[in-house]
Structure 1
Amino acid sequence: MSDNHLTAPAGAQNSPHKPAKPIVRHVTLEDVTSSLKLGILDFVKTPVIGLTFGAFFMIGGILVTLLSFWVDMSYISYPLACGFLLLGPFAALGLYEASRQLQSGQTPRMGGLFTLMWEQRRGEIAWMAFVVIFIQFLWMFKVHLLLALFLGMKGYGTFMQFVQTVFETPDGLLFLFAGHIVGAFFALLLFAVSVVSFPMLLDTEVDFVTAMITSFKVVTGSPVVMVGWGLLITAILMASMIPAFVGLLVTLPVLGHTTWHLYKRVVTFKE
């Protein structure tokens, strides 16, 4: 299927015309693999842009981890770093726009991408970003709640003491299991409502609720492929975090570009 559907251009939020109705089609494995190939090509074409956005996440991940140690809460460094990555769909706006411009034969400029992101601060994308941040707050709240329930919020002298408690005590193992189950729920929820909503809001004139509903339909309409894609994204990001988040320099921009192309393949619009 062609990757060039007819949609309103970026910035169409100011258009006086009636917004088109989004139509979601079934997602196939070929859609995902083709989008991934295009995402890699976009990164190769604009490496400076990709590495810049990747560096933002690498530095951000390092800072939030150091912050948890600085406030003597090293035990939340792992969930805090994971929660920080939940902001990816919003921060990848510049990558979506770069792919959109490449697809239309234009040459993306770094300054223009940051300007576009700044201009979205009062639009529907800002409301969508609020939803993402709210889910992240819920993510961190559940971490504190589970700590209180299973480990009693006791203090830990070092990070290694916390790790030993988690892996060598029954309560710690229960905390680890429950934390990942609840965390997976929040991650799946966020993935479902945001996987195509941000590129959709950037690309055409819709409200953020419609974008979330459309994104949810994409996932529920093709659950096996989309959940599989979500799990692959999770695995890639987790692996990228291991060497001091350095892997995010490449993996995050590639995934951002890929998301744009996947959106263009599975969502069309009808006047």
Structure 2
Amino acid sequence: MLWEECVVTPKIAGSTPHDNLAAKQQAKPKVNKVSARDITASLRAGYADFLARPFMSGFFGLIYAVFGILIVWSLVWLGKIWMIIPAIVGFPLVTPFAAAGLYEMSRRLQKRESFGWSEIFAVIAKQRKREMGWMAFVTLFIFWVWMYQVRLWLAVTLQNASFSDLGGFLNAVLFTPQGWTFLAIGTCVGALLSAVLFSVTVVAMPMLLDRETDIVSAMLTSIRVVTENPVVMLTWAAIISVTMLLSMVPAFLGLIFTLPILGHTTWHLYQRVVPPAEA
């Protein structure tokens, strides 16, 4: 008697390595080419969002301003006068995370959804269980690196200088050769750290709020946005930096207006450079 043993291996659609690879490639967000006109249009849209909910938008700016004032006051109280200028200069590094509520406001305004304080704060609270918390860690870590390297180069270049107050510190930094060396090194290192942070967060923050994605994918998409639109993104980075620094001159109070507008604008620029997932 002849017996035949047949082994049948079922094929399940979409389960082959080729199909899985294709699915991953399809999931990779598309990045558009943008121009200066997209920045202008995004600024207009961001300003419109601010005018639509000025009190709520200004509230987030006020929190940020008060936080900045408390940092300066704490440094004065602790006698760490030399840290005031570096802290003010590095303060904008943590701006993207502070704007999470503004991104959600713009998202809802764009979809013409009604919302109040509870809805916005509920979304912010949910970010603790998502990847946004890790992004906050990245921004704060780079801010810590900035402050540490300032202290390091201050000790190396101005080791014999004495500054017990802000005036003495400014005199040592601005009117001595050692101070000029410190400024040159600090500017170069600060520019490098700012470029790194900007590259990995420029669209990563709103993307993490907008989509179910991981921090690595969001940061890689953000880097692609910068590398594929270097001139436009450099322009946007310069606008953010200059606006933020000027806003901090009047005791941080300018941030009440500029931070919300920049936050809303960032959302609209993200929408232009990274098309919706369903598109």
TM-score by length of structure 1 reads 0.90
1:88 and 2:104 equivalent? no
Q: Is the 8 A contact 2:47 2:264 kept in 1?
A: yes
1:185 and 2:195 equivalent? no
Q: In structure 2, how many angstroms separate the alpha carbons of the residues matched to 1:157 and 1:113?
A: 44
Aligned residue number for residue 12 of structure 1: none
> Shift of the alpha carbon at 1:21?
2.5
Q: Is the 8 A contact 2:81 2:164 kept in 1?
A: no
1:52 and 2:55 equivalent? no
> Shift of the alpha carbon at 1:83?
2.4
Q: Is the 8 A contact 1:146 1:179 kept in 2?
A: yes
Aligned residue number for residue 111 of structure 1: 118
Match of 1:147 among 141, 154, 158: 154
Of structures 1 and 2, the larger Rg is shown by 2
Aligned residue number for residue 201 of structure 2: 194
Amino acid at match of 2:201: S
Q: In structure 1, how many angstroms separate the alpha carbons of the residues matched to 2:188 and 2:250?
A: 25
Identity score, percent: 44
Any stretches of 5+ residues in structure 2 without a counterpart? 1-22
SS at match of 1:227: helix
Moved more, 120-129 or 32-41: 120-129
Q: Is the 8 A contact 1:27 1:218 kept in 2?
A: no
1:170 and 2:216 equivalent? no
Q: In structure 2, how many angstroms separate the alpha carbons of the residues matched to 1:177 and 1:255?
A: 29
Any stretches of 5+ residues in structure 1 without a counterpart? 1-16
Return the structure number with greater relative CO, CA threshold 8 A, min gap 6: 1
Q: In structure 2, how many angstroms separate the alpha carbons of the residues matched to 1:125 and 1:24?
A: 21
CA RMSD of aligned residues (A): 1.7
Aligned residue number for residue 74 of structure 1: 81
> Shift of the alpha carbon at 1:85?
2.3
Amino acid at match of 2:241: T
Q: Is the 8 A contact 1:23 1:267 kept in 2?
A: yes
Amino acid at match of 2:115: P
> Shift of the alpha carbon at 1:154?
5.0
Aligned residue number for residue 233 of structure 2: 226
SS at match of 1:200: helix
Q: In structure 1, how many angstroms separate the alpha carbons of the residues matched to 2:64 and 2:46?
A: 18
**Cα deviations across residues 39-84 of structure 1 (Å, max 9, x unaligned)?**
0000000101111000011111111111111111111112112323
Q: In structure 2, how many angstroms separate the alpha carbons of the residues matched to 1:54 and 1:170?
A: 38
> Shift of the alpha carbon at 1:22?
0.6
Q: In structure 2, how many angstroms separate the alpha carbons of the residues matched to 1:44 and 1:270?
A: 29
Distance 1:270 1:114, change over 3 A: closer
Aligned residue number for residue 242 of structure 1: 249
Q: Is the 8 A contact 2:42 2:265 kept in 1?
A: yes
The total of aligned residue pairs comes to 255
Aligned residue number for residue 133 of structure 1: 140
Q: Is the 8 A contact 1:20 1:270 kept in 2?
A: no
> Shift of the alpha carbon at 1:20?
3.5
**Cα deviations across residues 124-145 of structure 1 (Å, max 9, x unaligned)?**
1111111111111111111111
Aligned residue number for residue 6 of structure 1: none
1:120 and 2:142 equivalent? no
Q: Is the 8 A contact 1:196 1:215 kept in 2?
A: yes
1:156 and 2:163 equivalent? yes
Q: Is the 8 A contact 2:47 2:265 kept in 1?
A: yes
Aligned residue number for residue 30 of structure 2: 23
Q: Is the 8 A contact 1:147 1:153 kept in 2?
A: no
TM-score by length of structure 2 reads 0.87
